[in-house]
Amino acid sequence: MPIQPQARVSDTPIFLRSFERAWRRPAAYLTAGAGLVLLGLLGAYPAYRTIDALAENRYPVGSQRFNLEANFWVDHAPELSELFSAVSTAAGLLALLAWLFGAFTAGGWLRMLLDPGRGNGRLFIVGGARYFWRFVRLALLVALLMHFVGLLCHGPLWKRWVVEGLAGLPGGKLELADSELTVRRLDWAQSGLYSLGVALLLSWALFTRARLVLQNRRSVLLAGAQTAWLLLRHPIRTLRPLTLLLVFEALGLAGLTLLFRSLEGGLREPDGAAWRLPTLLGLALLFVLWRELTHGARYAAALEVSTVLVKPLVVDPWEDRVGGPGGPQYPLSDSDEFRVSM
């Protein structure tokens, strides 16, 4: 049967209902968080082992625990230069893997959120694989549009239209401004417009993913164009829950950051690292999980709004197969009634 809009069960704000829906699917944020932590360890662990080997039996015990002294940098300048070169190369590959992993987790989140139950890790993997290439194409389009936003706010057009045209500075040269306040205002306007452009672009991508899943679309360009028109027609209904979730996420991250810094400051105390280091590690993991949880809440909000504003799917993408959610699926066809597919 077609995917139907979910009935509104309470007057709770959408952003709180969305957070609750994401919280009830621990398999999603635990799986996504574990993947990000693993990618981080792949980059950090080799660097840790290299520096630990360089410091071994060469310096007083504990002298390099919290920061590397000047003698360490001088003594091992060639080795550290080679290490940083290798780390920069590996960072590019890890960034690509994280980008692809983000496309995968987006499909996993959306598929689990459409399930009436809590879902499981297998359902997350099924959704991630089903929509992976569609979301990769969308991510490429987002990267292209992000580059365009950067050109508008930081390229020659900004100097020509804003600095030279509106501010009246010949040649777009900020050094010709009559006061430092003018330069600061232009910088604030530039940063604000760029942040606004990026936020709108990411919101558009979020609702485009929801449309691709709800309507089982394959054309990213057509779905993106329709989503842009949706945001123009309903800016408050679509962007308000995302804005509130952003504030909610920022408050949580600010609290975790303050707690992390307060604990970090006591590492130099006698035996301070014995319990502070495990606690800091736990806070770092909690930081990642909080980001993933609020990320899933944004997908839940986009789905809830889209099921009301977007025309529902005519054909259910799962009707041509039998099998429980998250388990083995058995597609049906004219030539082969039961064809096993994991």
Tens-digit pLDDT profile for residues 176-235:
777 888 888 888 998 999 999 999 999 999 999 999 999 988 899 999 999 999 999 999
As a whole number of angstroms, the distance between CA 211 and CA 217 comes to 7
pLDDT for the residue 91: 87
Q: Is residue 168 part of a domain?
A: no
pLDDT of residue 205: 96
- Compute the distance between CA of residue 298 and CA of residue 70 in angstroms, rounded to an integer: 46
Mean pLDDT of the chain: 83
Q: How many CB atoms lie within 10 A of CB 23?
A: 13
The two structure tokens encoding residue 271:
């035996």
Distance CA 160, CA 185 (A): 17
Confirm if 141 and 118 have CB atoms less than 8 A apart. no
The answer to which of 35-44, 118-127, 319-328, 332-341 has the lowest mean pLDDT is 332-341
Nearest alpha carbon to residue 196 among 246, 254, 162: 246
CA distance linking residue 107 with residue 131, whole number of Å = 5
HSE (CB half, 13 Å, CA atoms) of 258?
5
pLDDT above 70 (res 122): yes
Paired tokens of 323: 């099998």
Cα angle 279, 281, 287; round to 5: 105
> 3-7, 43-47, 57-61, 111-115 — which is least confidently predicted?
3-7
pLDDT for 164? 79
Q: If we measure between CA atoms, which residue out of 18, 11, 12 comes closest to residue 299?
A: 18
Distance in angstroms between the alpha carbons of the first and the last residue of the chain: 22
What pLDDT, on a 0 to 100 scale, did the predictor assign at position 51?
80
Give the model's pLDDT for residue 78: 82
Q: How many Cβ atoms are within 10 Å of 121's Cβ, its own excluded?
A: 15
Query: Is 192 a member of any domain?
Result: no
Is residue 53 a contact partner of residue 97, using CB atoms and an 8 Å limit? no
Q: Report the C-alpha dihedral over residues 18, 20, 24, 29, rounded to 10 degrees.
A: 60
* pLDDT at position 3 over 90: no
Does any domain span residue 337? Answer: no
Whole-angstrom Cα distance, residue 120 to residue 101?
Answer: 18
Q: Is the pLDDT score of 265 beyond 80?
A: no
Quick check: 297 pLDDT over 70? yes
Residue 31 has pLDDT above 90, yes or no: yes
pLDDT of residue 10: 59
Instruction: Tell whether the torsion through CA atoms of 15, 21, 24 and 25 is positive or negative.
Output: negative
Over range 125-133, report the average pLDDT. 93
Does a structural domain hold residue 207? no
Q: Is 257 helix (H, G, I), strand (E, B) or coil?
A: helix
* Residue whose token pair is 């600010």: 254
The domain tally of the chain equals 1
Between 18 and 3, the higher pLDDT residue: 18
**Residue matched to tokens 């809440």:** 297
DSSP 169: -
- pLDDT confidence of residue 6: 46
Q: Closest Cα partner for 242 from 231, 233, 252?
A: 231
The interaxial angle of helices 180-214 and 220-233, nearest 10 deg, is 120
Residue 34 inside a domain? The answer is: yes
Task: DSSP letter for 68, please.
Answer: -
Predicted confidence at residue 226, as pLDDT, reads 94
Separation of alpha carbons 245 and 275, rounded Å = 33
Dist CA 274 CA 277 (whole Å) = 6
pTM for the model? 0.82
Structural domain boundaries enclosing 142: 14-57+79-149+236-312
Does the residue 186 lie in any domain? Answer: no
Q: Is residue 279 part of a domain?
A: yes
The answer to which of 35-49, 165-179, 184-198 has the lowest mean pLDDT is 165-179
* Strand intervals (E) in 209-300: none
Looking at the domain assignment, is residue 88 inside a domain? yes
Taking the C-alpha atoms of residue 211 and residue 224, their distance in angstroms, rounded to an integer, is 9
